[in-house]
Chains A and B, each alone.
Chain A
């Protein structure tokens, strides 16, 4: 199968490319850009005139909810949502039921993902058995079964000694460990950023120190053990400074941020709307701006959706009693582009953090349209105005405060390994 994508504006931060040109695809991979290779005769030509042609997005945090939480979502439903948002590679957390602490569960997730034929799915394995923070998981077996990294997710470790040992063991085998810095004794019971809004509305706060104390401890242990490390979902200004300092002193750590922490602050909580209940919480304007600055400076190299679908009932409760998380994977790109429209980030930086940035944090072969890469790409109509609503929502969880809002820019089609996996029904009538 030979495919030619013609006349699109190809934007690929991995090779500093932004030009109207053609892509040539054969055997699932990109074999040329611009000029057709000799003897190339396309079986199919995709006219991308007026559209952006982007590398498929790489999302480091998509909860698929399978196995164990079928009321919230499934690998098929959330995979469909992901590709409709242009996400072709996603990483899913280990907090399923059962937890991803055995090769069988890791294998099941990948098998189901293959069967669904949607995005490329990479599970994160549990760092400790049952995420209980006590006994090490079979890290090597999990890695052999396809886990790209290990993490205790947001679950606390029993003590620092267990964490230290887990990191030493992971370092022995050169495994990547994902940290969600959170000092549980400080965040327990909290549901909002400790600050003016939480104080005014009587919501129990989560102080900045819940994140920064854990982050500092983790950085010291990373330095000591030499483990490969990535920090997930930073929310505080101070965390960005700490990571920047650590990197400046030679520690090779990467980090990501959830898109909603770049768009929103705790000011939105004044309506007690549980759709804004996320962990780590939406913080202050200073935090938001410093996170954006961290992206500009290259300290933060990935933006993720932190997609967490829920059944309707999970959000129908007083704020603190709602389950945390919002489900935005299918609008990741138009939502992220608001940061460009607001003048916060330029297009190249933004796309880098959604493609090659996250791919390189996890060492994934994705997020690039360079010759030889898998032909995972997205056709994007950057000018289309549309409303994301109950009528066109694809995730099983429709728990997003953005549902019902008008968005600018829409994914027209998504290809994985040169195969069409999603075509927008409105565009392709």
Chain B
């Protein structure tokens, strides 16, 4: 009845990925391996033939319980470039019987003999749940669960940082905005601290930046100027319109005034600081157009890097999963 630790759940006996659920607990070596492998796929993207046969004959199911065309598309592209067969399923959950429909859906998909599920779900921990309750030979990739984790997004951010800054040591990184609801920020915190940056700052009002993150190694800043002072990397998070209804903020305009990234506030960071955003951007809400489209913005690089990182993660998890299966078969 005791369930296994999700951080251990995603590794096989050799310590290699067989699922990709969270960055929490993953070693620097694994994170670096993902980045190195993604680099090699990046150069491939520039060639005329963009496919490699690493997932040939494998069936990958995009299992999206929460709509996201962008993320789904980059996963789809990544899987196709690895030569997998891809099925897209968008399943809206009914609030009353989430558990049943989720388990029933899984049973159905298992019967189709899929090899990998790429899961997005509005409940934190849903991919862990699926990894535990699903047939053992399917690799589960977390494409974003509730507020918990979005590990491929964080890894593509890491790749973007490394490609622009060369290394992580000594970097100061500011993540600005709605940290409370952000699975991206949580995964970034794990990745950045594991990869050895000097400082991660979470910047925003108290309603959006829980104090508990200080215990997890983040520096909490409620003032944008202090938060951006001397940083090498700025990550702006998307502000959802519902936050105003939840009484977390008075208005978009006041948020923009206090925490929006403008040409003026960008000047508080290092002159060569890069500006990132997981998208989609709210121009004039969290970021000024001139900054989003400006020289320091690497937002579109992130998208390109996203495909390479997802190819890296899918191929690593599939090989780790197959290794685990062979081992079981051999025993």
The answer to whether A320 and B3 have CB atoms under 8 Å apart is no
CB of B45 closer than 8 Å to a CB of A: no
Q: With A313-B100, A317-B99, A321-B123 known to touch, is A202 a contact of B146 (CB < 8 Å)?
A: yes
CB of A196 closer than 8 Å to a CB of B: yes
What B residues does A320 contact at CB under 8 A?
123-125, 146
A316–B25 CA distance with the chains assembled, in angstroms: 25
Q: With A317-B98, A318-B121, A320-B123 known to touch, is A202 a contact of B149 (CB < 8 Å)?
A: yes
What A residues does B99 contact at CB under 8 A?
313-314, 316-318, 321-322
CB of B145 closer than 8 Å to a CB of A: yes
Q: How far apart are B288's CB and chain A's nearest CB, in angstroms?
A: 29
Q: With A270-B5, A317-B103, A403-B1 known to touch, is A199 a contact of B216 (CB < 8 Å)?
A: yes
The answer to whether B1 and A201 have CB atoms under 8 Å apart is no
CB of A363 closer than 8 Å to a CB of B: no
The answer to whether B6 and A196 have CB atoms under 8 Å apart is no
What A residues does B103 contact at CB under 8 A?
313, 316-317
A200–B1 CA distance with the chains assembled, in angstroms: 24
What A residues does B210 contact at CB under 8 A?
199
CB of B186 closer than 8 Å to a CB of A: yes
What B residues does A272 contact at CB under 8 A?
3, 6, 124-125, 128-129
What B residues does A322 contact at CB under 8 A?
99
The answer to whether A404 and B98 have CB atoms under 8 Å apart is no
CB of A68 closer than 8 Å to a CB of B: no
CB of B133 closer than 8 Å to a CB of A: yes
Interface string of A309-325 (1 = CB under 8 A from B): 00001101111111000
Q: Which of A317, A319, A321, A401 contacts B1 (CB 8 A)?
A: A401
The answer to whether B6 and A404 have CB atoms under 8 Å apart is no
CB of B46 closer than 8 Å to a CB of A: no
CB of B148 closer than 8 Å to a CB of A: yes
> In this complex, what residue of B is CB-closest to A273?
B3
A322–B125 CA distance with the chains assembled, in angstroms: 12
| Residues of B1-16 contacting chain A, CB below 8 A | 1-6
Q: With A199-B216, A271-B6 known to touch, is A317 a contact of B147 (CB < 8 Å)?
A: no
The answer to whether A321 and B6 have CB atoms under 8 Å apart is no
Q: With A318-B124, A404-B2 known to touch, is A201 a contact of B148 (CB < 8 Å)?
A: yes
Q: How far apart are B243's CB and chain A's nearest CB, in angstroms?
A: 14
CB of B24 closer than 8 Å to a CB of A: yes
CB of A190 closer than 8 Å to a CB of B: no
The answer to whether A317 and B129 have CB atoms under 8 Å apart is yes
Interface string of B144-159 (1 = CB under 8 A from A): 0111110000000000
The answer to whether B212 and A195 have CB atoms under 8 Å apart is yes
A272–B1 CA distance with the chains assembled, in angstroms: 13
Q: How far apart are B19's CB and chain A's nearest CB, in angstroms?
A: 14
Q: Which of A317, A321, A322, A402 is most buried by chain B, counting CB atoms within 10 A of its CB?
A: A321
Q: List 28 A-B contacts (CB under 8 A).
A: A195-B212, A196-B212, A201-B124, A202-B124, A202-B148, A202-B183, A204-B147, A270-B6, A271-B5, A272-B125, A272-B129, A313-B99, A313-B103, A316-B103, A317-B99, A318-B98, A318-B99, A318-B125, A318-B146, A319-B123, A321-B99, A321-B123, A322-B99, A400-B1, A401-B1, A401-B2, A402-B1, A404-B2
Interface, chain B (partner A; CB < 8 A)? 1-6, 24, 98-100, 102-103, 121, 123-126, 128-129, 133, 145-149, 183, 186, 210, 212-213, 215-216
